[in-house]
């Protein structure tokens, strides 16, 4: 399912994914993203991107760092926002309409075309809509000197130009009085921009304020003289002259264009609008949109303002109507249609006589027949400019008889329903009103409770806002209650709300109509029974939102029927359709729905609905992980419930996209089901999600669901559930490098299996525990567990678990230095993985074979295996393995002596591992990075990486990481001339390798130890280390070690004066190193040449 995306650069950078904000935290990543967005659809060179991100002095490794930044952006934005690599640059491939800047220019062009055609109202609306896209200074939070130098001034100038054009058109429309305040602010903000001063003078003069217009000219004249030493320009002098001579006509436009009809003589007009709320706050965008839509006088504009109960529709409509009084000089009509109120709603026969009398019709002239009333009403409004505010409508049928028939009038309707019928019959525009944001909420509370009170209790005020769901009605009630009880602090009142019934507490004593509960009751009572049932049962969905599929599972309906009911509830504004096929409650409405559910539904019915939802979720997640070729053992599932239809997926990409979108809901459902219905095995959903979390590296969600599942399994003594969750936690802690914790959970699982006959699960736990023992350096235990697992899997034909056990056993042989046995075992795992079409198993095996072949000295074959593994991981969308390709390439590059390139690959691996919170892989990447930096001669940086890796290894008990880090530190100390420290560190590394039987690590440490002895003039010890390393390397097939060990042996023999032995060792070393293609070969060749001559 494609996700909607929107980018906003006209203000602080905002990225909206499915209408939800997506935070781009790093400043340089924001600069990179904006650089691509400003040139969307075209390539941007690496040099240009580097300049935008770092300025005129980018770092030496800017290209590689940009690669990392692009990789992080791709991970953050997901597949909906393709960032493509093109020759010497990158390209963001998105629809330009998703960027506010790209919508800005077409709106300007639309305004210019309307103005040229004489349609001034449409021109003003288009210019206002363009300006409405701006949320503040462009790119204000993007730290880029180049963009702020080259792009921002251009964008700001464009905005000011459009603002000038909109003001010019509004002046032509005769909106002089309302422009004075805006132009006064604009001249203050932009005091040297002469056009705003000229427009201010025109607006003042046409408003009958000639002396103030002349005073404005004197102010700008002094300002220009003091600041710039110049006189006013031609336009200002012309307007000044026209003001002096009175030659600016009060109604004609200041420049050529469409003329405005002369204002009618004053007469008594209806002015029925309720009083504006004096402390009205916020809603600026909504007000501007309503005003712009109603001023577009093509036909009779109709705007419906819809939203849930308590959201402030009436207050906003009244406020907007007061803003437009001058646009409708012939009057403003208002009626409360009582669409959602006790008693019947008002009909046209109730309303039309009121309106006719208000417009001057004598009472005895008002006809009795509704059709005649409608005709008289339309005739009376012909040629007039009247605004109708029809409040609290229940249906389109209630509105249609009240609509004027000729241009000039406008209609603003409020309703809890979106009144879609009006959009069809009268092209009505719908403005949906949502809850207040925090700045608006704070202003509302401050206006009633007091700004100082809110500021001094900001945390409590934030919680109060959340408890009130940011609904204006609830907030005003809460604030009024606080004012009436001065002994209470905001925090005290919050405690009352949190402890009790929020809906009951949000009422004003003595006025039952002013209560949130009462507002909700009226909307709920208007629902048909089947919609009311759907509304109630939706309260069982615990996540941030819900879909038609989820609603279908809860209610036992088809997805199509569930969608229809959701749409009706959204139309009634009891839920919000916040994105395509996604719906959500406001918090207080969720509470209300849950209250109705508890009151009207039996506990058994509620429990059955929740069980249907969990069953749908488990089987949908299973289908998704199957499409992604998950390699993890799946615990047995109960029989599916009748009538529940899970999601299915045709590709791994589709499955991953769905899981990513639904992740928060699925995680919340685990905990919710554990709390509400632990007997229904909610751990099954946690187990289903395990395969997804594993491949995507989602440790936090994995931990949360597995622990909740374990808690739920322990309550009813569900031993199978406990086994599943203990095993899951063991895998989680192994993957994240917390080996002792992992082993503890696996040991509990193994003990529990004595009571459970499930051989495939037993083999899976044994195999996983074996992998932990490898990392802890306990290879005998590892081999024992893995061989036991293989016996079981071969007996029962559990091929996936068998492949995993083979892969782990190959890891044992690799550490023992048995490269041939390791290769055979990995190839067997690859064969099984290929047979069962498991992409991740194949990728794991190929990655391991790549390392084996590299150590054997076949670097090209090793690199090809690494690349093949990477392609399979990508096909499986396995983000958790994204670092492995970089690790593999770093290994081969180090062996080739291309250390700077290796450092880039290792850095990329480390960054991905850090993002995944995989401490074991972070340790491995730091050791690789240290080795690359050491080879590049960057010893202080290498020491830093090895030290950091050592700290991780010690903390987590990661024995292999411990050996590697100590070997690296010893080598770096040696290079820095700190021989005693090098000797001590190498000796401790050798002891650790010996204890763990890490023959591969032992060989590498022996080489460092031998070199250190040689530097300390102990050639005999150096020769002993070299020959020992060569012997172990020869036995294991580790040709790179053999070649370097023979080179060291030659160096030691030469120091001892045994030139014949030196020549012999060097000759053998040259054969090996030349065949591999490592840089040491050229060194040895030179040594042989020297000793020969």
d(CA 860, CA 895): 11
Architecture of the domain made up of 606-756: Alpha Horseshoe (1.25)
Helix (H) or strand (E) holding 8: strand 5-8
Architecture of the domain made up of 758-865: Alpha Horseshoe (1.25)
d(CA 39, CA 47): 14
What is the pLDDT averaged over residues 294-305?
Answer: 81
CATH 1.20.120 for domain 1017-1093: no
Domain 878-1000: give its CATH code.
Answer: 1.25.40.10
Can you give the pLDDT at residue 1048? 93
CB 416 within 8 A of CB 306: yes
d(CA 773, CA 783): 9
What is the pLDDT averaged over residues 438-455?
Answer: 82
Query: Which segments within 749-848 are labelled E, that is strand?
Result: none
Can you give the pLDDT at residue 839? 87
Give φ, ψ of 773 to 5 degrees. -60, -35
- What CA dihedral angle connects 444, 449, 451 and 453, to 10 degrees? -140
What is the pLDDT averaged over residues 931-957?
Answer: 91
What is the pLDDT averaged over residues 1026-1033?
Answer: 92
d(CA 392, CA 404): 19
CB 1050 within 8 A of CB 1065: yes
Please report how many Cα atoms fall inside a 13 Å half-sphere around the Cα of residue 501, on the Cβ side. 9
Radius of gyration of the chain (CA): 37
**What is the CA 217 to chain-centroid distance, rounded?**
51
What is the pLDDT averaged over residues 938-951?
Answer: 92
Q: What is the 3-state secondary structure (H, E, C) of 561-629?
A: HHHHHHHHHHHCCCCEEEECCEEECCHHHHHHHHHHHHHHCCHHHHHHHHHHHHHHHHHHHHHHHHHCC
Can you give the pLDDT at residue 166? 92
Whether the predicted pLDDT of 938 surpasses 70: yes
What is the pLDDT averaged over residues 499-526?
Answer: 60
Task: Look at 491 and 62; give whichever has higher pLDDT.
Answer: 491
d(CA 34, CA 1036): 53
Asked if 1-173 and 527-601 have one fold, the answer is yes
d(CA 684, CA 679): 11
What is the pLDDT averaged over residues 884-902?
Answer: 89
DSSP 135: -
Task: Look at 241 and 467; give whichever has higher pLDDT.
Answer: 241
Whether the predicted pLDDT of 444 surpasses 60: yes
Whether the predicted pLDDT of 499 surpasses 90: no
SS3 at position 631: coil
Task: Look at 540 and 68; give whichever has higher pLDDT.
Answer: 540
Can you give the pLDDT at residue 646? 95
Can you give the pLDDT at residue 505? 59
d(CA 925, CA 939): 17
d(CA 483, CA 487): 9
pLDDT tens sequence across 197-232: 999 999 988 888 888 888 999 998 888 888 777 888
Can you give the pLDDT at residue 252? 34
Longest dimension (CA), the chain: 131
Domain 527-601: give its CATH code.
Answer: 1.10.10.10
284-432 has which fold?
Rossmann fold (3.40.50)
d(CA 775, CA 746): 14
Q: What is the mean pLDDT of the chain?
A: 85
Confidence bin at 2 (pLDDT 50/70/90): low
Task: Look at 641 and 59; give whichever has higher pLDDT.
Answer: 641
CB 17 within 8 A of CB 32: no
Whether the predicted pLDDT of 156 surpasses 60: yes
Q: How many residues does the chain have?
A: 1093
Task: Look at 617 and 71; give whichever has higher pLDDT.
Answer: 617
Confidence bin at 342 (pLDDT 50/70/90): low
User: Which range among 413-417, 525-529, 571-575 shows the weakest confidence by mean pLDDT?
Assistant: 571-575
d(CA 143, CA 720): 54
Can you give the pLDDT at residue 917? 78
Q: Which residues of 516-531 are buried (b: 16+ CB within 10 A; e: fewer)?
A: bbbbbbbbbebbeeeb
d(CA 318, CA 389): 8
Whether the predicted pLDDT of 534 surpasses 80: yes
User: Which range among 170-174, 253-257, 830-834, 896-900 shows the weakest confidence by mean pLDDT?
Assistant: 253-257
Can you give the pLDDT at residue 884? 85
Whether the predicted pLDDT of 125 surpasses 60: yes
d(CA 333, CA 390): 8
Domain 1-173: give its CATH code.
Answer: 1.10.10.10
DSSP 642: T
Can you give the pLDDT at residue 652? 84
User: Which range among 298-302, 646-650, 700-704, 1052-1056 shows the weakest confidence by mean pLDDT?
Assistant: 298-302
Domain range summary for the chain, segments of one domain joined by +: 1-173, 284-432, 438-501, 527-601, 606-756, 758-865, 878-1000, 1017-1093
């Amino acid at each position: 399912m494609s996700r909607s995306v929107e980018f906003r650069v006209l203000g602080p950078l905002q990225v909206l994914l499915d209408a939800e904000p997506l935070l781009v935290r790093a400043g340089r990543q924001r600069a990179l993203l904006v650089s691509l967005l400003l040139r969307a659809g075209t390539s941007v060179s690496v040099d240009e991107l580097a300049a935008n991100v770092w300025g005129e002095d980018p770092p030496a490794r800017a290209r590689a760092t940009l690669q990392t930044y692009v990789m992080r952006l791709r991970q953050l934005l997901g597949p909906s926002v393709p960032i493509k690599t093109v020759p010497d640059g990158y390209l963001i491939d998105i629809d330009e309409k998703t960027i506010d800047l790209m919508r800005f220019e077409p709106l300007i062009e639309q305004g210019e075309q309307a103005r040229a055609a004489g349609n001034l109202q449409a021109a003003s609306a288009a210019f206002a809509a363009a300006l409405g896209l701006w949320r503040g200074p462009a790119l204000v939070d993007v730290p880029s000197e180049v963009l702020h130098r080259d792009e921002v001034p251009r964008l700001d100038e464009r905005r000011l130009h459009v603002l000038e054009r909109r003001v010019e058109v509004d002046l032509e429309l005769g909106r002089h009085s309302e422009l004075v305040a805006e132009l006064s602010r604009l001249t203050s903000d932009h005091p040297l921009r002469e056009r705003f001063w000229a427009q201010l003078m025109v607006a003042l003069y046409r408003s009958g304020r000639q002396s103030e217009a002349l005073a404005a000219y004197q102010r700008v004249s002094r300002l220009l003289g003091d600041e710039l030493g110049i006189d006013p320009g031609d336009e200002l002098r012309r307007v000044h002259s026209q003001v002096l001579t009175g030659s600016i006509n009060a109604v004609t436009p200041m420049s050529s264009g469409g003329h405005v009809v002369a204002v009618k003589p004053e007469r008594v007009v209806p002015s029925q609008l309720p009083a504006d709320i004096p402390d009205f706050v916020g809603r600026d965008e909504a007000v501007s949109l309503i005003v712009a839509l109603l001023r577009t006088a093509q036909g009779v504009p109709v705007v419906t303002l819809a939203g849930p109960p308590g959201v402030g529709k009436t207050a906003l409509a009244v406020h907007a109507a007061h803003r437009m009084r001058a646009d409708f000089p012939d009057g403003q009509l208002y009626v409360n249609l009582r669409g959602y109120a006790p008693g019947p709603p008002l009909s046209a026969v109730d309303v039309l006589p009121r309106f006719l009398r208000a417009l001057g019709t004598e009472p005895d002239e008002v006809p009795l027949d509704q059709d005649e009333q409608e005709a008289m009403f339309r005739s009376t409004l012909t040629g007039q400019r009247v605004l109708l505010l029809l409040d609290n409508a229940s249906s389109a049928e209630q509105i249609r008889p009240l609509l004027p028939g000729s241009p000039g009038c406008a209609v603003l309707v409020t309703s809890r329903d979106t009144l879609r019928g009006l959009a069809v019959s009268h092209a009505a525009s719908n403005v949906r009103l949502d809850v207040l944001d925090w700045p608006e909420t704070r202003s509302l509370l401050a206006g009633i409770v007091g700004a100082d009170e809110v500021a001094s209790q900001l945390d409590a005020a934030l919680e109060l806002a959340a408890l009130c769901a940011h609904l204006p009605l609830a907030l005003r009630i809460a604030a009024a209650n606080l004012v009436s009880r001065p002994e209470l602090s905001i925090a005290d009142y919050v405690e009352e709300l949190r402890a009790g019934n929020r809906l009951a507490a949000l009422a004003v004593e003595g006025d039952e109509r002013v209560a949130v509960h009462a507002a909700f009751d009226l909307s709920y009572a208007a629902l048909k029974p089947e919609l009311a049932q759907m509304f109630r049962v939706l309260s069982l969905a615990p996540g941030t939102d819900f879909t038609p599929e989820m609603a279908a599972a809860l209610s036992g309906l088809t997805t199509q029927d569930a969608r229809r009911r959701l749409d009706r509830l959204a139309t009634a504004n009891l839920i919000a359709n916040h994105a395509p096929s996604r719906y959500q409650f406001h918090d207080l409405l969720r509470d209300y729905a849950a209250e109705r559910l508890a009151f009207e539904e039996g506990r058994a019915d509620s429990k059955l609905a929740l069980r249907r939802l969990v069953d749908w979720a488990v089987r949908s997640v299973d289908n998704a992980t199957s499409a992604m070729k998950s390699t993890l053992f799946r615990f047995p599932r109960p029989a599916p419930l009748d009538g529940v239809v899970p999601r299915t997926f045709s590709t791994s990409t589709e499955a991953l996209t769905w899981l990513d979108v639904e992740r928060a809901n699925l995680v919340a459902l685990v905990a919710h089901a554990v709390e509400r219905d632990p007997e229904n095995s909610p751990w099954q959903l946690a187990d289903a999600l395990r395969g997804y979390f594993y491949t995507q590296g989602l440790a936090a969600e994995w931990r949360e669901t597995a622990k909740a599942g374990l808690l739920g399994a322990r309550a009813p003594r569900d031993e199978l559930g406990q086994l599943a969750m203990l095993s899951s936690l063991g895998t989680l802690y192994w993957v994240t490098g917390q080996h002792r914790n992992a082993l503890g959970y696996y040991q509990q699982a193994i003990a529990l299996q004595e009571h459970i006959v499930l051989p495939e699960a037993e083999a899976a736990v044994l195999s996983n525990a074996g992998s932990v023992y490898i990392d802890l350096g306990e290879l005998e235990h590892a081999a024992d567990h893995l061989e036991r697992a293989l016996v079981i899997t071969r007996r029962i034909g559990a091929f996936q678990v068998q492949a995993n056990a083979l892969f782990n056993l190959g890891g044992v042989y690799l550490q023992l230095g048995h490269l041939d046995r390791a290769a055979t075992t990995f190839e067997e795992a690859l064969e099984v993985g290929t047979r069962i079409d498991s992409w991740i198993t194949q990728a794991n095996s190929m990655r391991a074979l790549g390392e084996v072949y590299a150590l054997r000295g076949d670097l090209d074959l090793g690199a090809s295996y690494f690349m093949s593994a990477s392609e399979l991981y990508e096909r499986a969308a396995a983000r958790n393995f994204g670092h492995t390709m970089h690790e593999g390439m770093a290994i081969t590059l180090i062996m080739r002596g291309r250390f700077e390139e290796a450092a880039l690959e290792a850095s990329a691996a480390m960054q991905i591992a850090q993002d995944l919170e995989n401490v074991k892989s972070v340790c491995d990447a730091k050791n690789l990075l240290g080795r690359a930096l050491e080879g590049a001669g960057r010893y202080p940086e290498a020491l830093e990486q090895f030290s950091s890796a050592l700290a991780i290894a010690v903390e987590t008990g990661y024995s292999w990481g411990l050996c590697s880090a100590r070997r690296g530190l010893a080598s770096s100390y040696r290079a820095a001339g700190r021989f005693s420290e090098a000797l001590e560190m190498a000796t401790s590394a050798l002891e650790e390798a010996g204890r763990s039987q890490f023959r591969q690590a032992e060989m590498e440490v022996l080489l460092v130890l031998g070199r250190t002895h040689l530097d300390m003039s102990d050639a005999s010890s150096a020769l002993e280390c070299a020959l020992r390393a060569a012997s172990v390397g020869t036995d294991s097939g580790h040709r790179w070690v053999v070649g370097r060990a023979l080179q060291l042996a030659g160096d030691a023999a030469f120091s001892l004066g045994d030139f014949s032995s030196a020549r012999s060792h060097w000759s053998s070393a040259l054969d090996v190193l030349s065949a591999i293609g490592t840089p040491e070969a050229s060194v040895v060749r030179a040594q042989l040449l020297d000793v020969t001559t």
